Structure 1
C-alpha cells in the first residue's frame, strides 16, 4: 500500500505544479508587462550575389563570364544586445483553458475534454544591436576548396521586430511560449580585410586583397517555440527567414569599367536564442 501511495504522489506532482487559481494567472499576466533587457547569440547563414557589366572583360583581365554573376558566403555568428517591451497592446485577455482531444492506443478519436490550463496571446516589440568581432568570407564562385577571400573584419548591425506569442501557464511563476511569430527588419554592415588564402590567378583581378565592405538590409519573418518566462526572465529561441532584402558593396575589381551591383537578393537564414531580464 505504501508503494502505491508513493506512485500516486509521483503522478500527482506534475499536476500540483500547474495548479493555480484564475486570480494568480491574471496577476501573472499583468506582471509580464514592462521593459526587458538582455543578450543573445544568433547563427546567420548568408550569401550575397553580385555581377558587373563587363563582357568581354577589359584588356589584360583573365576571362570570366561576369554575366553569370558571382557570390560570397558571409555567414556570421552574431552577438546581440536586446531590449524588449512586452505586452505593448495592454494586458491581453486571459483564456480559461483549451479543449484537448483524446485518443486510444490505436489512435482512434474518443472525443475531447476541457482542460483548465490558462493561456493568452500577447504582442511584444523589440530591438537588437548585433556585433561580430571577426569572421571569414569565402567566394562561392571558386571551384576549389581553398576559397577564403577574407580572414576577418568587423560586422555590426541592428534589427527591430513585433512579435505575437501564444503563452501557456505552467505555474503561477512559470510560463511557456508554445508558439511565437514575428515580423521585423535587419541591417548588417560587413567589413572584410581581404586577407585570403586563394591562389587562383583570376582572384587578384577581383581586388579582394585591399579589403571591401558589404551591406545587407532585409525584412524577415520569424518563428519561435518552446520559450520560457518567469516573473523576471524570458528565454526566447527563434528562426528568422528573410523574405525581402537588398545589398550593396564597395568591391571594385581591377581595370573594371563600372561598379559591382547586386545580381540577386541576398539569401539569409538566422537562428538563435535570447535571454532577457525585466527592469
Structure 2
C-alpha cells in the first residue's frame, strides 16, 4: 500500500559493480545529449534511501540520483514536473523510472546558504507562487502519480492513514483519541472543493535552489498526492515562521499565505477560511507520510504540531 512504513533495506550504493553500472548509464545518456563526462564522478551523498553523484562536464556539473525501491516513484514525479512546470525544477537530462534513476542539470546554490548571506526572506514570495503553479499544473496527473507509487494522502483516505500510524507507533493516547477529529477536519476541508494534487510535503530551504534568478524545487521523494494547502504546514509553520535566527513565530506568515492563495485561485477569496484547517491537517499528513523509517521523535513532533500548533 502506498505510503506504508517500510524498513530501510541494504542498498548497493557503494558496491563497485553497482557504481560502475550507474556511471555507464550516465555516460551513455550524456553521450546522447552531446556533453560527455570530463572527469571522475564524485559520490557526494550516501543515505540508506538514496545516493547522489556529481558528474563533471565541459558545460558544468550534472547530478545523478538513485533511490531505494520504496522511493523510485520520485523519477516519475520529476519527469512529469519537467514537462508541466519546467521553470520550477532543474532540467531533466535522462531518467529511468523502473530503477528510480535521474540525471539532472545543476540547480545552482541552495536557498539556505543564499538566505544566510542576504539576511532576507523575500525569496519565499516566488517560491510559494511556484508551489501554487505546481499544484495546479499537476492536477491532471494524479492517477499517474498514485499509479507510480506516490503515497495517496487525499482527504478521503487521510483519516485511515492517520489511524494506522497512531495505532502502530508508541505515542500518547491523546493522538489516538484524535482519530475522529482528523475525520471531522478532513470532511470540513473537503467542503471547499479544492482539487487534490501533487504536494511536496517537505518544502523547506534545503530543498530549494537558486540559479540564474530562478527558484528551483528539488527532492520530491517525500511528495504525496494530497490537499495542495498542506504544503503551508511544513513550509510556513515549520520553517519560514522561525525566521532568520530560528526563533519561534518570528515571522508573520499571513502575507505569504495570502500570496500563495492569490496565485493558486485569485477568484476564490473564500479559500482563506480553509487555511486554518489545512495547516492542522497538513501536520497529520506529514506524520502519516512515512515511506521510510524515521526517528520516532520526528513523528511525535509532527503530531504535536497537529494537535497543539507547536512542537
Q: What range is the shorter-chain TM-score in?
A: under 0.3
Give 1 or 2 for the bigger CA radius of gyration: 1
TM (norm. structure 2) is 0.22
Q: Return the TM-score normalized by structure 1.
A: 0.24
